C-alpha cells in the first residue's frame, strides 16, 4: 500500500514508470494491460508499487484489457488500459464504438509506439488513430511530462466523459529522468446509473450517441484552445523560422537548432490532436518559413497543409515532402541536422559524438534464443521430424520468432499475434503437398490463438500446431498468462483436446522422446497439436537464485571431444563454441546446465560439473 504523499517529491525513473505514477496519482483505480515492448514497465510498476491501492493486472490480450477498462469507466470507476503500438490494432473494435459512446468516469488509453521497429513488426504512427477516433492525444517529450500529461489525461477524460490517449515512443518510454511528484488527485465518487440508450450500442442508440458526441467534441476543442495545451517560446533574436513539433521530436529539434545557431519561434504541441488551429494561424501570419519536425508520418504537416490552403497563408513549409524529416525510422538529432543542412542550405560537417573506443560496445548485436531455451530444442526436433514432409512454417509473435535465424531457420511467414494457425489453415488447402506447421507460444495461444484453432478444426484443416509453452510471457520480461505457473493455471493441452484436436504433450529437452511424439503425430490427419512444455531458461535461473541454489553448469571433457560440432551446428546455443584446437568449449557465464547439448554428443563428452 502506497503511503499518502503530503508534499512534493522528486523521483528518478523511466518514462514508463512516470506514466504509472501519473495514473495512480491522477486517481485511476482500475488498469488492465497486455505486455509488449516498449510499454511493459507501466503495468509492472503499477503491480509492484500500487497493488494495494488499485486493481492492476495483466489481461489475455489488448481488446480484453480495453473492454475491462471501458466497463469499469462506464460503471463509475476511473480506469486505464496500456499496450504497445500494434496492440492498439487488437483494441480498435471496442475503442471505435467507445469513441461515440463515451464513458462515465475517466478512461486513459496509453499506447507506446516503436519508431525504428526495435521490437515490433511495423512502425505504425498511432497519432493517426487519435484523429480517426476523434479523441484527444497527449504526447510527452520528457519524464516530467509523462507524469503530468497522464494526470491531465485523467482530468480531461473525467471532465468530458470521453477516453483520452497518451502516446509514448520507445525513446520516451525507456529514457531515464527526474520528475516532481505531487499529492494524489482525489476524485469524487461517481454513482453508476443505468443508461441503456447511451451504453447499449444498437444502431438507433449509436445514431443518438454520434449526435451527442459531435457536440462534445466541439466543446473539447474550445476547452483545449482556452487551456493552451501547447508551449511556445523563442530561441535567439529576430527568429527567422516558425517551428511546429511535438513529443520526442521536440528534443531533436531543439538540439538541431542549437547546433546551427538558428533563431526560431517554437510551437510545441502537448496535445497533438485536436490541433491548436487559431494560435497556429496567428503565428503563421508572422513568418515566411515554417519547419514541421515530427517522427514517422506527416501527421502535423498534413493538418497544417489543409489550414494553410484554407486560409491562403503565404509561408514556405518545410517538412517530409521536401526532405526535412523522413517517414521511415527513428528520428535522431544527427539525422535531423544532416537533413536540415541539405534542405535549408546550411553549412554542415558530420560531428563525431561517439568516441571510437565506444563504437564496438554500441555495435548492433542480433538477438538470439537464450542458452538453455527450450524453444531451441523444439526447433531442433522439428527439423529432424518434419523435414521430409516439405514443411511451410507459419509463425507467431514471441521469443520463438527468433527461430527464423540460423541454425533453426524455422519461420517462413510471420505477420501478427494469433496469425499462425489461420495461415496454416489456408496453406493446408492451397499447398496440400506441403506440411503446414503453425508455431505459437503459450501467451499468444491465449491472446488470439484459440479462435484460430477453433476455425482450423471447424474447417477440417490438415495442420500441425506446435505450442511452445515456456510457462511465461518471456519476450517482454516474464509476465504471467492464463497457463503460466500459478494458482489459476489453465491447460493448453486439455483445451485443445476438448476442442477436438489430436493432442500430445512433450518435454522438448528430451530430444529422443520429442522426436518420437512428433513422428507419432504425423501418423494422424487433421488438426494435430503438440504442446512443447518446459520452463523458460531465464525464469528457471531466477528461481534458483532466489532460493539460494547454484545454477548447474556443463563442461566438455577435451580428451573425449572429437570436434564433430554436433553439439553446436544443429542447436546454435550461444554458450557453445569451438576453440583453436577444434574442441568444443562451454561458456560458464551463459550455461545453465540444461544438458541438451549432451544428448547430441556421440562420445558422451559433456558432463555436469561444479561451479568454481
Instruction: Report how far residue 93's alpha carbon sits from residue 424's, in angstroms, rounded to the nearest whole number.
Output: 25
Whole-number CA gyration radius for the chain:
27
What is the per-residue pLDDT for 51? 85
Name beta bridge partners: 391. 435
> Grid cell 529539434 — which residue?
253
- Cell numbers representing residue 432 in the block: 496440400
C-alpha atoms less than 13 angstroms from C-alpha of 241 in its C-beta half-sphere? 23
pLDDT over 70 for what percent of the chain? 96
What is the per-residue pLDDT for 2? 45
What architecture (CATH level 2) is domain 550-612?
Answer: 2-Layer Sandwich (3.30)
CB atoms within 10 A of CB 467: 29
Q: Mean of the per-residue pLDDT values for the chain?
A: 93
Domain 230-344 falls under CATH 3.40.605.10:
no
More confident residue, 128 or 482: 128
Question: Which range (89-93, 112-116, 358-362) has the least confidence?
Answer: 358-362
Question: Does pTM surpass 0.85?
Answer: yes
Which burial class, exposed, middle or buried, applies to 194 when counting CB atoms under 10 A from its CB (0-12, 13-18, 19+)? Answer: exposed
Whether 598 shows a pLDDT value over 50: the answer reads yes
- 526-558, pLDDT tens digit by residue? 999 999 999 999 999 999 999 999 999 999 999
Whether 254 shows a pLDDT value over 80: the answer reads yes
Residues 6 or more apart whose CB falls under 8 angstroms from that of 577 comprise 568, 584, 585, 587
Whether 180 shows a pLDDT value over 90: the answer reads yes
> Grid cell 555436469 — which residue?
608
Q: Is 226 left (phi over 0), alpha (psi -120 to 50) or beta?
A: alpha
What number is the average pLDDT over the span 175-200? 94
Of 527, 502, 523, the C-alpha closest to 428 is 527
Question: Which range (1-5, 345-349, 359-363) has the least confidence?
Answer: 1-5
Whether 66 shows a pLDDT value over 60: the answer reads yes
Name beta bridge partners: 79. 30, 107
Confidence of residue 179 (pLDDT cuts 50, 70, 90): very high
What number is the average pLDDT over the span 50-56? 91
Residues 6 or more apart whose CB falls under 8 angstroms from that of 144 comprise 18, 177, 178, 179, 180
Q: C-alpha dihedral over 440, 446, 448, 451, to 10 degrees?
A: 100
**Per-domain boundaries in the chain:** 9-227, 230-344, 374-540, 550-612
What number is the average pLDDT over the span 119-132? 95
Confidence of residue 295 (pLDDT cuts 50, 70, 90): very high
CB atoms within 10 A of CB 391: 18
Confidence of residue 3 (pLDDT cuts 50, 70, 90): very low
What number is the average pLDDT over the span 262-278? 97
Write the DSSP assignment of 19-87 as a string of letters. HHHHHHHHT--EEEE---TTSHHHHHHHHHHHTTTSEEEE-SSHHHHHHHHHHHHHTT--EEEEEETTH
| Long-range CB contacts (within 8 A, 24+) of 409-413 | 410/379, 410/382, 410/383, 410/439, 411/439
Q: Do domains 9-227 and 550-612 have the same CATH topology?
A: no
- 488-497, pLDDT tens digit by residue? 678 999 999 9
Whether 4 shows a pLDDT value over 60: the answer reads no
Q: Which superfamily does CATH assign the domain made up of 9-227 to? A: Thiamin diphosphate (ThDP)-binding fold, Pyr/PP domains (3.40.50.970)
Confidence of residue 349 (pLDDT cuts 50, 70, 90): confident
- 431-444, pLDDT tens digit by residue? 999 999 999 999 99
**DSSP, res 2:** P
What is the per-residue pLDDT for 363? 66
Whether 5 shows a pLDDT value over 80: the answer reads no
What is the per-residue pLDDT for 487? 62
Domain 374-540 falls under CATH 3.40.50.720:
no
Amino acid at each position: 500500500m502506497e503511503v499518502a504523499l503530503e508534499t512534493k517529491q522528486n523521483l528518478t525513473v523511466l518514462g514508463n514508470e512516470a506514466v504509472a505514477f501519473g495514473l495512480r496519482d491522477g486517481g485511476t483505480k482500475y488498469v488492465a494491460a497486455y505486455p509488449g515492448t516498449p510499454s511493459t514497465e507501466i503495468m509492472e510498476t503499477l503491480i509492484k508499487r500500487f497493488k494495494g491501492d488499485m486493481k492492476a493486472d495483466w489481461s489475455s490480450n489488448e481488446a480484453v484489457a480495453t473492454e475491462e477498462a471501458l466497463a469499469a469507466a462506464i460503471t463509475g470507476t476511473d480506469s486505464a488500459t496500456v499496450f504497445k503500438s500494434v496492440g492498439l490494432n487488437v483494441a480498435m473494435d471496442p475503442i471505435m464504438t467507445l469513441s461515440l459512446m463515451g464513458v462515465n468516469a475517466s478512461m486513459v488509453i496509453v499506447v507506446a509506439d516503436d519508431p525504428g521497429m526495435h521490437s515490433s513488426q511495423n512502425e505504425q504512427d498511432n497519432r493517426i488513430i487519435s484523429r480517426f477516433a476523434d479523441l484527444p492525444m497527449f504526447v510527452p517529450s520528457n519524464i516530467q511530462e509523462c507524469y503530468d500529461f497522464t494526470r491531465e489525461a485523467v482530468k480531461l477524460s473525467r471532465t468530458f466523459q470521453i477516453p483520452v490517449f497518451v502516446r509514448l515512443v520507445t525513446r520516451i518510454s525507456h529514457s531515464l529522468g527526474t520528475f516532481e511528484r505531487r499529492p494524489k488527485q482525489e476524485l469524487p465518487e461517481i454513482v453508476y446509473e443505468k443508461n441503456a440508450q447511451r451504453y447499449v450500442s444498437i444502431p438507433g442508440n449509436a445514431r443518438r450517441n454520434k449526435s451527442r458526441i459531435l457536440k462534445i467534441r466541439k466543446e473539447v476543442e474550445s476547452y483545449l484552445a482556452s487551456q493552451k495545451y501547447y508551449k511556445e517560446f523563442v530561441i535567439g533574436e529576430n527568429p527567422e523560422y516558425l517551428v511546429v513539433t511535438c513529443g520526442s521530436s521536440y528534443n531533436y529539434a531543439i538540439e538541431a537548432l542549437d547546433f546551427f545557431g538558428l533563431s526560431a519561434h517554437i510551437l510545441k504541441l502537448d496535445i497533438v490532436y485536436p490541433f491548436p488551429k487559431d494560435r497556429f494561424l496567428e503565428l503563421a501570419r508572422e513568418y515566411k518559413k515554417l519547419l514541421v519536425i515530427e517522427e514517422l508520418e506527416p501527421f502535423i504537416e498534413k493538418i497544417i497543409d489543409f489550414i494553410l490552403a484554407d486560409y491562403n497563408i503565404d509561408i514556405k513549409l518545410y517538412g517530409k515532402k521536401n526532405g526535412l524529416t523522413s517517414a521511415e525510422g527513428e528520428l535522431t538529432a544527427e539525422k535531423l541536422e544532416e537533413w536540415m543542412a541539405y534542405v535549408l542550405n546550411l553549412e554542415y560537417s558530420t560531428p563525431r559524438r561517439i568516441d571510437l573506443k565506444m563504437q564496438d560496445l554500441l555495435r548492433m548485436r542480433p538477438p538470439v534464443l537464450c542458452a538453455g531455451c527450450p524453444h531451441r530444442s523444439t526447433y531442433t526436433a522439428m527439423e529432424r521430424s518434419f523435414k521430409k514432409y516439405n514443411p511451410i512454417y507459419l509463425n507467431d509473435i514471441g521469443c520463438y520468432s527468433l527461430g527464423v535465424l540460423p541454425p533453426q531457420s524455422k519461420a517462413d511467414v510471420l505477420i501478427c499475434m494469433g496469425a499462425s494457425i489461420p495461415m496454416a489453415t489456408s496453406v493446408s488447402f492451397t499447398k496440400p503437398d506441403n506440411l503446414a506447421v503453425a508455431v505459437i507460444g503459450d501467451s499468444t495461444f491465449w491472446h488470439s490463438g484459440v479462435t484460430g484453432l477453433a476455425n482450423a478444426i471447424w474447417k477440417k484443416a490438415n495442420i500441425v500446431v506446435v505450442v511452445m509453452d515456456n510457462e511465461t510471457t518471456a519476450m517482454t520480461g516474464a509476465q504471467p498468462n492464463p497457463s503460466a505457473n500459478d494458482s489459476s493455471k489453465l491447460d493448453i493441452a486439455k483445451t485443445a483436446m476438448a476442442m477436438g484436436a489430436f493432442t500430445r504433450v512433450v518435454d522438448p529437452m528430451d530430444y529422443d522422446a520429442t522426436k518420437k511424439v512428433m513422428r507419432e503425430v504425423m501418423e494422424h490427419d487433421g488438426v494435430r497439436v503438440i504442446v512443447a512444455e518446459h520452463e523458460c531458461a531465464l525464469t528457471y535461473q531466477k528461481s534458483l537464485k532466489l532460493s539460494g541454489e547454484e545454477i548447474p553448469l556443463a563442461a566438455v571433457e577435451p580428451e573425449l571431444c572429437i570436434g564433430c560440432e554436433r553439439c553446436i551446428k544443429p542447436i546454435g546455443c550461444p554458450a557453445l563454441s569451438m576453440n583453436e584446437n577444434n574442441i568444443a568449449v562451454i561458456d560458464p557465464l551463459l550455461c545453465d546446465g540444461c544438458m541438451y547439448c549432451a544428448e547430441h554428443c556421440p562420445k558422451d563428452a559433456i558432463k555436469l560439473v561444479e561451479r568454481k
